[in-house]
Structure 1
Amino acid sequence: MQAVQFTEHGDTDVIEYGDFPDPEPSDDEVLVDVKAGALNHLDVWTRKGLPGIDLEMPHIPGSDAAGVVTEVGEDVTRFEEGDHVAVSAGAFCGECEFCRRGDFPLCVEFHIIGEHVRGVHSELAAVPAQNLVPVPDHVDWETAAAAPLVFQTAWRMLRNRGDLKSGEDVLVLGASGGVGHAAVQVAKHAGATVYATASTDEKLEYAEELGADHVINYEEDDFADEIRDLTGYRGVDMVVDHVGGETWQDSLASLAKGGRIVTCGATTGGRPKTDINRIFWNQLEVIGSTMATPGEAEDALEHVWDGTFEVRVRDTLPMSEAAQAHELLENREGFGKVVVKPDSEL
Structure 2
Amino acid sequence: MKSWWIRPEPGAIALEQREVPVPRPGPGQLALRIRAAALNRGEFIAGHGLHASGTARPAGFEAAGEVTEVGAGVTGFAPGDRVMGRCDGAFAEHGLMQAGEACVVPERLSWEQAACATVTYLTAHDMLIAQGRLRAGEWMLVTGISSGVGVAALQVAKAIGARVMGTSRSPEKLQRLQALGLDVPLATRAPDFVPAVLEASGGRGVDLVVNTVGGSLFGACIEAMGFEARLATVGYVDGVVRAELDLMALHAKRLQLFGVSNKLRTLQHRIDAAAALARDLLPWLAQGRLVPLVDKVFAFDALEDARRAMEAGEHVGKIVLRME
Same fold (TM over 0.5): yes
Instruction: Give the distance between the partners of 1:233 and 1:76, measured in 2 at CA.
Output: 53
Identify if the C-alpha distance between structure 1 residues 55 and 295 changes in structure 2 by more than 3 Å, giving closer, same or farther.
farther
Name the stretch that deviates more: 11-20 or 21-30: 11-20
Distance 2:204 2:231 in 1: 15
CA distance in structure 1 between the partners assigned to 2:295 and 2:54 by the alignment: 31
| One-letter amino acid of the structure 2 residue matched with residue 334 of structure 1 | H
Deviation of 1:267 (Å): 2.3
CA distance in 2, matches of 1:142, 1:205: 24
Matches of 2:222 and 2:107, distance apart in 1: 43
The equivalent of 2:192 in structure 1 is 222
Aligned counterpart for 1:209 among listed residues 156, 179, 182: 179
Which residue of structure 1 lines up, in the alignment, with residue 266 of structure 2? none
> What is the identity percentage for the equivalent residue pairs of Structure 1 and Structure 2?
31
* Aligned partner (choices 57, 60, 68) of residue 58 of structure 2: 60
Report the counterpart of residue 73 of structure 2 in structure 1.
75
Residue 12 of structure 1 contacts residue 326 of structure 1 at CA under 8 Å; is this kept in 2? Answer: no
Q: Secondary structure at the match of 1:126?
A: strand
1:286 matched to 2:273? The reply is no
Which structure has greater strand proportion? 2
Give TM-score, length-normalised by structure 1: 0.84
Preserved CA contact (<8 Å) 2:42 2:48: no
Shift of 1:251: 0.5
Structure 1 residue matching 2:23: 3-state secondary structure = coil
- Residue by residue over 1:275-317, the C-alpha shift from the partner in whole angstroms, topping out at 9 and shown as x without a partner, is 2222112221112234661222212233123210121111101
CA contact (8 A) 2:178 2:185 kept: yes
Task: Please give the alpha-carbon distance, in whole angstroms, between the structure 2 residues aligned to 1:139 and 1:263.
Answer: 29
Instruction: Determine the C-alpha separation between the residues in 2 that align with 1:162 and 1:49.
Output: 27
Q: Is the 8 A contact 1:6 1:14 kept in 2?
A: yes
Give yes or no for the alignment of 1:136 onto 2:106.
Answer: yes
- What residue ranges of structure 1 are gaps of 5+ in the alignment? 90-112
CA shift in 2, pair 1:306/1:263, >3 Å: same
Report the equivalent of 1:188. Answer: 158
Name the counterpart of 1:176. 146
State the secondary structure of the residue aligned to 2:232. Answer: strand
Matching of residue 41 in structure 1 with residue 41 in structure 2: yes
Cα separation, 1, equivalents of 2:54 and 2:107: 35
CA deviations 1:18-66 (Å, max 9, x no partner) are: 3122212113211110000001122213xx2544853795411112100
3-state SS of paired residue (1:247): helix
Aligned to 1:94: none
Alignment match, 1:328: 309
Map of 2:267 onto structure 1: none
Deviation, 1:206, is: 1.7
Give the counterpart letter for 2:294 in structure 1.
Answer: V
Normalising by structure 2, report the TM-score: 0.89
Q: Which runs of 4+ in 1 moved over 6 A?
A: none
Deviates more, 1:30-39 or 1:159-168: 159-168
**Bigger mean CA offset, 134-143 vs 175-184:** 134-143
- Distance across 1 between alignment mates of 2:13 and 2:53: 18
Task: Specify the code of the residue in structure 1 equivalent to 2:139.
Answer: D
Kept after mapping to 2: 8 A contact 1:2/1:122: yes
Partner residue of 1:310?
Answer: 291
3-state DSSP of counterpart to 1:6 = strand
Verify: 1:18 aligned to 2:30, yes or no: no
Give unpaired runs (5+ residues) of structure 2.
263-269
State the AA in 2 paired with 1:250: A
Counterpart among 248, 273, 282 of residue 277 in structure 1: 248
How far has the Cα of 1:225 moved from its partner?
2.0
Matched, 1:240 2:210: yes
Aligned to 1:341: 322
Q: Are 2:117 and 1:167 aligned?
A: no
Which stretch shifts more, 5-14 or 314-323? 5-14
State the distance in 1 between where 2:200 and 2:256 align.
Answer: 22
Point out the more displaced range, 66-75 or 22-31: 22-31
Aligned length: 313
Once residues 113 and 196 of structure 2 are traced to their aligned partners in structure 1, the CA distance between those partners, rounded to angstroms, is 34
- In structure 1, which of residues 115, 120, 124 is the aligned counterpart of residue 94 of structure 2? 124
- Does the 8 Å CA contact 1:17/1:319 hold for their aligned counterparts? no
* Equivalent position SS for 2:21: coil
CA contact (8 A) 1:248 1:272 kept: yes
Indicate the RMSD between aligned Cα atoms, in angstroms: 2.2
Shift in alpha-carbon separation, 1:333–1:64, aligned structure 2, 3 A = same
Aligned to 1:92: none
Comparing 69-78 and 273-282, the one that deviates more? 273-282
